[in-house]
Amino acid sequence: MSMLATVRHQTVVNARHAASFSRLSLPMRRTSVVLAVLFGAACSSTPSRPDPIPATLPVITRPGGESAAWWFHAGAATAARQREGAVPQARNLILFIGDGMSIPTLTAARILGGQRQGDPGEEFRLSFEDFPHTALARTYNTDAQTPDSAGTMTAMVTGAKTRMGLISSSQITQRGDCASSQGEALVTLMELAETAGLATGIVTNTRLTHATPAALYAHAPERNWESDGLIPATQRPHGCIDIARQLIEFPYGDGIDVALGGGRAHFLPLEWAARPGAIYVESNTQLSALDPHKARQVLGLFAADHLQFDHDRRRDARGEPSLAEMTHAAIDLLKDRPHGYVLMIEGGRIDHAHHFGNAYRALDDTLALSDAVRVAAERTSPDDTLILVTADHSHTMQIVGYPARGNPILGLVRGSGGEGVMSSEPARDALGQTFTTLNYINGPGYAGATSQQPEGAKQHPHVIAGVQAAMRADLSGVDTTAPDFLQPSLYPLADETHGGDDVAVFARGPGAAAVRGSLEQNVLFHLMAQAQPRLRATLCSAGACDTDGTPFRLPSHEALNKPGESSH
């Protein structure tokens, strides 16, 4: 349990970063004045002089010469080039993360969505596939070809890539080493937003302390330090604070305004509810009953751990809200704030279903994310709200064989085992066995007997232990479309792994036209920050901008407003 003491989480300037780029540290009263002046400049209606492209990126040897300052500079320069002189004026920013939502996941979910409507499926469109701008994002961490969610989300919300397992801490930090993280905290999107006077919100169907949401508000050398009991005794003397406590004690602006998700076991919710104007809810009934004009800060913890997969949620009477319902509530709670808002919404259980080797739930939760994006698109305007939809990383699920048009995406391949004439009969491999369209490269769907399940097709949940080698499972008479069927995997692992391939980015609204081509994942932060005038102004007030207002220097926490200085 987090003790949630009153000690504030503070960060310091990293001297090694300061040596790379000069910083401007202003007294707080003066900072507020400069912010107002720069905000006025950022909102100017005279587009005749476009922003210049930032200074030439220093030539370095990679990867050895990479640093947080270099990544930030490189990302900002790319974003400025992508804008081609345009100066977007986004009032609101919404970032959707489909955790583990690989391109094959998108394709398979699209087909499943269409087939549930009685159509062949291939022609179906997810809600965000109608967004006009798309790109690919490269997901690698600074130390890993195939990344994890901590490093990838850090890239998207700080503008700098980092190591696997780190929460918004620079790549100098060694994982699990608290001392090495001191002075290495990276300024996050939510810290900037609260300093700028924007409202802030976080929505997830995972624990609120899980890696993806945590990167928005916390700094940690280990993603698993979600509550104080999870920090090793040897690391506590070095000053690290558990992730749950950092959410409750978030020291910028007036704190996070809306936080909806799971993870109740890591919190003492009454600490939140005791604050003036703060409301705590733990059911969908309570959430839907909130008055947006009275509820200034809302913490919703709807499960002790993660929320359920959407398939299971729909069949349960405990009253967990769907991702779409939480999205609706968050937008209603934030939309009338005077200066706009920054909102992150994560469909985090897509990733978990893939790790379990269960394509049914992964695709079902992808469709739930699509529903949530549709809600956001309907309740906002492309004139003032930039919406990005992307994934943090991919997975090993693949779509294989030559199934006929309209073949059930979760079924056996019926069509052709090669590039021959299509057939209505199940296709067979060189051993004469049938096979599924969806398969995993690794994971718990391996056919060998384990201490939990006999040799053959596997069912969810399946925790591999005592696995034995085996030939591929005979799928004759197996309902591969059933929700608990585990797609076959080539080799056994307790958890299926992430993939290292690029992920898709979809965009709508002011600044969306810059989302195109092949981008490093950290560029997404800069596209958002450069599209929102108050964020740009805040970065400039922190000494991060060139003379024409393009923020390309890594900002420091010391240069941001003191806790409580800004309000909305």
The 10 Å Cβ neighbour count of residue 532 is 28
Give residue 537's identity as a one-letter amino acid code: A
Helices (H), 43-102: 68-83
Residue 518: closest CA among 124, 82, 45: 82
DSSP state of 559: T
How far, in Å, CA of 391 to CA of 464, rounded?
Answer: 27
Residue 187: closest CA among 543, 565, 546: 543
Q: Which residues of 93-126 are buried (b: 16+ CB within 10 A; e: fewer)?
A: bbbbbbbbbbbbbbbbbbbbbbbeeeeebeebeb
Q: Which residues of 17-54 are buried (b: 16+ CB within 10 A; e: fewer)?
A: bbebbebbebeeeebeebbeebbeebeeeeeeeebebb
User: Beta strands of 413-529 (E only): which ranges?
Assistant: 415-416, 438-443, 458-459, 485-486, 489-492, 498-499, 503-508, 518-520
DSSP state of 364: H
DSSP state of 10: -
Task: Identify the active-site residue in 2, 102, 149, 394.
Answer: 149
CA distances from 522 to 21, 107, 226, 384, 412 (A): 19, 25, 24, 23, 39
Measured CA angle at 146 (ends 141, 147), to 5 deg: 45
Nearest 10 degrees: CA dihedral of 481, 484, 487, 493?
180
Match 């839907």 to its residue by tokens: 288
Question: In angstroms, how far is CA 333 from the centroid of its own chain?
Answer: 21
User: Is 149 a residue of the active site?
Assistant: yes
Give residue 165's identity as a one-letter amino acid code: G
Enzyme catalytic residues: 149
